[in-house]
Structure 1
């Protein structure tokens, strides 16, 4: 085997195992301004572009979603507008799902329009959104310390047939510590908790039993975003300080970088080994190259 082939093989092994990606230092390489209190950023590999949710100024209908190129240039600042407090974003098939205060909005990417709006009964302040391997969609509600579930077509839980496709309350407890960031991984939900006094923990929730376990050894901060790094670690953001941490499933915590206060629902790009931070107060999105 040639040396270059060996290098490529080793790199593939490192990336798939999460070893290569578990960086604990980073350099700021780009700031893109012009947003309005951005909260979340996701990447659509099929379209090779980012989507950014903009909460704007808390006036009815002033929120919007932006389209941004893979190079970080704004393609369409107000791609989808008329929203009232958009936060979490999820790309699934040819759609973007957005949490919009007390609603879940479905956007057709190809048609660039809202195709469905679902009012979530009892919701107070919907935040992050994630999907598991069989299509179940989970939504955090930071306002009431709860998680909602929209069962997929192949739901792996005991959900009545007449409730599939609807959004139902999945968990409601202060033990979720006013859950913010959410990520479904295998049989668990991993949650970045806001906490009450900058003491939010990183939590693990068994999808079947709904048991909640603290991964972090003590409260970390006002946790916001969560992104997986391989199979045994995550990047999490502390909104209060702008610090991004690498946390392993055994609770080991390492500081990666410190931006500024209000770093929100972050994105980890494993292919480029970059972190993308929506900076709410700064009205900008920051790119960091991990080393």
Structure 2
């Protein structure tokens, strides 16, 4: 492991180079409490971080959302609290949508107030959220093997097909909804109009987060083993980093393409920032 000293935040911070493509440039303070998901708000130039802060699947009201600067400094630790098990998030026109067990919480990013809650009676474990350019919101139910859609202020089952196998990470593209299946170790693309589907790739354990890499491909996380992969446009996989030996989990990631900055919540107490080069 090669260590390089960089000047950052006006102090000396070690940046660890794991490969020719990815370099750790910062680690946040150890104040987060099971940080699960990261989402960038370009209008504010901040990251939202969901914190479970308790036992998985517990309705305890301990969960909260933090605001993190892109240099790794915590801006507000408990920006919005009172959630149960906040997981994936989506953003559309100053509205932040948070998957919270069997409900989707809508937060006004201007006021930091919860302004609407979508309750889903039959949902078991709502996990990830992605937003479409037209305002549609897609939500995965990992244990219920369903994908829900919020449209025109209502939430309904959008997909319940046999290829869903503990669906976790979601990502909207122009034509498709991309879905990561944790159980079958597969990724699928579902056409948003026809709902026809095809497999993109397979063979990655514990699939969690998926983001565009800004290069006609994707970055995905294999959470529990601490791995990050680059997926090219043909579905070919390349391991970017393996943090398993350090016992670091790579949960629901975010990527800021303009800065080549990859954000990795660890489900422990910190969030990590990596610089990618292609």
**TM-score (norm: length of structure 2):** 0.86
1:203-244 CA distances to partner (integer Å, 9 max, x unpaired)?
11111222231111x321110000012363100000121111
Does the Cα contact within 8 Å between 2:26 and 2:71 map onto a contact in 1?
no
Q: 2:85, 2:174 → 1: CA distance?
A: 30
Q: Distance in 2 between matches of 1:90 and 1:251?
A: 25
Residues 142-197 of structure 1 show CA distances to partners (whole Å, capped at 9, x for unaligned) of 1111100112xxxxxxxxxxxx32100011134112110000101101112211xx
Partner of 1:132: 132
Separation in 2, partners of 1:279, 1:259: 10
User: Could you tell me which residue of structure 1 aligns to residue 239 of structure 2?
Assistant: 255
**Residue number among 35, 39, 42 corresponding to 1:38 in the alignment:** 35
Superposition map of 1:1-291 within 5 A: 25-32=21-28, 33-58=30-55, 59=58, 60-151=60-151, 164-195=152-183, 199-216=184-201, 218-230=202-214, 232-260=216-244, 261-280=248-267, 282-291=268-277
Following TM superposition, the consecutive aligned residue runs of length 4 or more in structure 1 with deviations greater than 4 angstroms are none
CA distance in 2, matches of 1:265, 1:86: 12
Distance 1:110 1:134 in 2: 21
- Kindly indicate whether the alpha-carbon contact (under 8 Å) linking 1:180 and 1:223 is maintained by their aligned counterparts in 2: yes
Task: Confirm or deny: 8 A CA contact 1:215 1:249 kept in the other structure.
Answer: no
SS in 1 for 2:163: helix
Is 2:126–2:139's contact at 8 Å kept on the other side of the alignment?
yes
Structure 1 contact 176–212 (Cα < 8 Å) conserved = no
Helix, strand or coil for the counterpart of 1:209? Answer: coil
Segments of structure 2 that go 5 or more residues without pairing to the other structure are 1-18
Gaps of 5+ in 1: 1-22, 152-163
Residue 24 (structure 1) shift:
6.9
| Per-residue Cα deviation, 1:76-135 (whole angstroms, up to 9, x for no partner) | 211111110000111211121111111111111111111111102311100111112222
Q: How far did 1:254 drift?
A: 0.8
Q: Could you state the TM-score of these two structures normalised by the residue count of structure 1?
A: 0.82
Structure 1 Cα separation of the partners of residues 274 and 214 of structure 2: 19
Report the structure, 1 or 2, having the larger helix content: 1
- Separation of aligned partners in 1, 2:215 and 2:260: 16
TM-fit CA distance, 1:71: 2.1
1: distance between equivalents of 2:250 and 2:161?
Answer: 26
SS in 1 for 2:188: strand
RMSD of Structure 2 on Structure 1 (CA): 1.6
**Contact 2:92–2:135 (CA under 8 A) maintained in structure 1:** no
Decide which moves more: 32-41 or 259-268. Answer: 259-268
| Greater fraction strand | 2
Aligned residues: 252
